[in-house]
Structure 1
Amino acid sequence: MDILTNSSTSAYSDLFSSLEESLSKMLSIIRKHLDMDVAFFSEFVGGRRVFTAVDQSEDATVKILAGDSDPLEDTYCEKIAFGKMSQIIHDASIHHITSNLAITDVLKIGSYIGVPIILTNGDTYGTLCCFKHSADGSLNQRDINFLIAFAEIYRDLYEDQIKDSSLMDEVSEKIRSVLELDLWSMHYQPIYDCRANSISGFESLARFNTEPYAPPNIWFSEAAQIGMGERLEIEAIKKALSNINKLNNNTYLSINISPEFILNGALVRALQNINLERVVLEVTEHSPIQHYQTFHQQLSPLRARGLGLAIDDAGAGYSSFQHVLELEADIIKLDISLIRNIHMEPKKYALAKALCAFAKATKCIIIAEGVEIVEELNVLNELGVDRIQGYLIGKPMPIAEAVAHTYHLP
């Protein structure tokens, strides 16, 4: 079954489910405040009045369901929305219009109050209405104003939903185009072994070749927001691994994934037929893991096949040490925010020193990310960092350039 289709559908379902929940809460407040039997939002569609959301008392005489509809011209809604009838009907049985409408008897309407829902472009969307089965002479302009306020809230929610849906469609189409037209590539950034004075591995990083340009984090963030995160991350891993045999046999390839796609089994499925002896999985410290036991269970068969595990971005967030303790990784990567100007900031030095000490005590390899200047490198050598990654050694490059490049410390 297509992951892209399923995940996008799920995102849309979540969007509409949230709106429905908000409408139900509003209608309950409205109905109880006005002491009515039924409150509902309606939409005018194809010449019919469609109930989009309904709240009714337990002893309501006639049960109405969301999705039920009637010919628009036969309803109170149409007449109220287009000014053919007053917005308050104290006694429907004696009103000169409602007493002759069949819907009065069908819904057992005794008294009624309603207001139109007007969109910002001036179109009439539908109505917000309430009725009870008995006459009610207490309904007044204050109650109309109360309904108007909620009708405006409904309008805003509806239009926000339309904007969100349009944005989801736009982002979904953009990502589909990138994947189908292959408008992206993988770059490879070298990881330098300070002890062996050689390249020990490469980290794979996605680059999107589109106009206008957007950085990779934006692409992956937007994909996650619309339910396409799994598809994009798994495709990136497959694309990165397609070049592993072009790298020196003594080097490994580092790939990135969000913890949720380890927990749901997506990574295991993607790596079924891959030789993992030269592959390291980087899991970011920024992404929370709710169930570490499940995380280890999912990774266990991959680890048994040789997959290495690295904690990415260590030192960047408040939960670094918990993350480090729980993951039992082979590699700890110090985040660029910790490395930048480490030679001038004692607090960064102290935290990096603690992480390095932990790594050595637990026989982990420590890698410093984002190393750009010699002064930073000198401090990292003093701390005993095993490997470095950053522009001081090399930027992310296409595979051909990464393989051909000559690497050395300044």
Structure 2
Amino acid sequence: MRPIPRYEDDENLLSEVIRSVLRSVRLRLGMDVGFISEFDKGNRIFRYVDGENPPIAPGGADPLSESYCSYIVRGLMPGAMQNAADDPVAAGMKPTKSIPVGAHLSTPIVLPCGGLFGTLCCFSYAPNPDVGEAQLRLLQFSAEQIANLLGMVGKKNKNYLATEDAVRCVLKNRAISIVFQPIYRLSDDRIVGFEALARFPSTLLGSSPDKWFEGADTVGLGIEMEFLAVEEAVAGLLKLPEDAALSLNLSPASIASARFVQLFGSMPLDRIILEVTEHAAIEGYAELKSALEPFRKRGLRLAIDDVGAGYSSFRHVLDLNPDLIKLDISLIRGIDRDPGRQALASAISEFARRMDCEVVAEGVETDGELASLRAAGITKVQGYLISKPLTLADVPILLRRYRSREGLVLRLDRSG
């Protein structure tokens, strides 16, 4: 039996409960829109919004000084208004007419530590003569519930909300760029493919792709973020050499989603390699293998990424029968000085030959590492020794530098 998750341990569950409380009180009060705002550095930030086609959205913000909330928490405007246009302060404020705001209820959200988080507000587009102290007390009770939920995780929850805002902003603005790292075949010294790698703006989560994908997953938007990266990468496929493969990364959860079928159904699958991370848990191997089968029949190649990191059982490799095994950088770093790593690379290479698949070594940075991987029978490599990840515009420049009479042949250039 799975343990019942606790709010303080599950930020996704906490967020859903807060949304549920907000919706419940809005409907109980008969209001059109409800929202939870946070006061931060002179701004009112809408953290949660509920309603039919609301005029505000989660993550949106406006100056706190120009909002009803500012006046209400200072006691300069009543918490319950049957018609905002009848209040002398609200009547002169822009939202009263532009939205418009009819009946309005608002109360501060005070955290258990005593700090003011923001406000819980509900309003309707039309006046409502039934709004009064009884409705305001219900809103205040709900605000206490929400404050306790927010207080369970304190700063951690605030970081969660900020992370959700940052992720949603990237998704909305498609603020992600793709770079392409060459994959180099050792048998004939050729670039035979490129792995698409996501790059993010340096904001709250930094610029590390791992942090961004982890953050997106934490706030329940991991699948959306993964597919945004895939869409942006595939958009550049036509500008890559026609005989070069494009390697894309997706988690098992994304592969199992309906969106995978929609997106990959129209791709030139004979040019696509799908990398499944080796340290992501897979609950149903048979189901995943079955979902991938029609795409693999059309030419899609499957790679298990990060082999040697996370789950070390190789079960992904054994149960999914991939076309490629990608060795994690932790096995490659310093392999030329480590007999144990050399032996393991040789064993994996021999295993791959028997399974009729290839081995790709990631993160190759030195001549010594490359020599050891050749000796171990590794068939493909990628890493800074070959080339750093390139923008789409820089790919032709790299290829022209190493063009030969036989084709696109790469000769490692020590001059940079």
When the two structures are superposed, what TM-score results if normalisation uses the length of structure 2?
0.61
CA distance in 1, matches of 2:111, 2:314: 54
1:391 is the counterpart of 2:388: no
1:282 is the counterpart of 2:275: yes
What residue in structure 1 maps to residue 252 of structure 2? 259
1:173 is the counterpart of 2:165: yes
Deviation string, structure 1 residues 274-331 (Cα, Å, up to 9, x no partner): 1211000001111011110000111112112211100111122343422211110000
CA deviation after TM superposition for structure 1 residue 179, in Å? 3.0
For these two proteins, the number of residue pairs brought into alignment is 280
1:223 is the counterpart of 2:216: yes
CA deviation after TM superposition for structure 1 residue 224, in Å? 0.1
Cα 1:397–1:218, aligned 2, differ >3 Å: closer, same or farther?
A: same
Counterparts in 2 of 1:1-400, with a 5 A limit? 14-15=13-14, 119-121=112-114, 158-161=150-153, 163=155, 165-211=157-203, 213-400=206-393
| Letter of the 1:408 counterpart | R
CA deviation after TM superposition for structure 1 residue 345, in Å? 1.3
- Tell me if structure 1 keeps the 8 A contact 2:12–2:219: no
CA deviation after TM superposition for structure 1 residue 261, in Å? 1.2
- Tell me if structure 2 keeps the 8 A contact 1:189–1:402: no
| Letter of the 1:191 counterpart | I
SS in structure 2 at match of 1:222: helix
- Tell me if structure 2 keeps the 8 A contact 1:316–1:335: yes
CA distance in 2, matches of 1:362, 1:214: 38
CA distance in 2, matches of 1:355, 1:118: 55
CA distance in 1, matches of 2:303, 2:326: 7
Q: What is the percentage of aligned positions where both structures have the same residue?
A: 39
CA deviation after TM superposition for structure 1 residue 122, in Å? 7.2
What residue in structure 2 maps to residue 82 of structure 1? none
1:409 is the counterpart of 2:402: no
Cα 1:166–1:158, aligned 2, differ >3 Å: closer, same or farther?
A: closer
| Letter of the 1:172 counterpart | E
SS in structure 2 at match of 1:160: helix
| Letter of the 2:375 counterpart | E
CA distance in 2, matches of 1:345, 1:320: 22
Deviation string, structure 1 residues 5-37 (Cα, Å, up to 9, x no partner): xxxxxx876226789xxxxxxxxxxxxxxxxxx
SS in structure 2 at match of 1:260: helix
Cα 1:384–1:268, aligned 2, differ >3 Å: closer, same or farther?
A: same
Say which one has the larger Rg: 1
CA deviation after TM superposition for structure 1 residue 208, in Å? 1.1
CA distance in 2, matches of 1:323, 1:391: 27
CA distance in 1, matches of 2:346, 2:273: 24
- Tell me if structure 2 keeps the 8 A contact 1:15–1:161: no
CA deviation after TM superposition for structure 1 residue 169, in Å? 3.2
What residue in structure 1 maps to residue 94 of structure 2? none
- Tell me if structure 1 keeps the 8 A contact 2:199–2:207: no
Q: How large is the Cα RMSD of the aligned pairs?
A: 3.1
What residue in structure 1 maps to residue 64 of structure 2? none
Cα 1:400–1:118, aligned 2, differ >3 Å: closer, same or farther?
A: closer
CA distance in 2, matches of 1:17, 1:216: 26
CA distance in 1, matches of 2:286, 2:222: 23
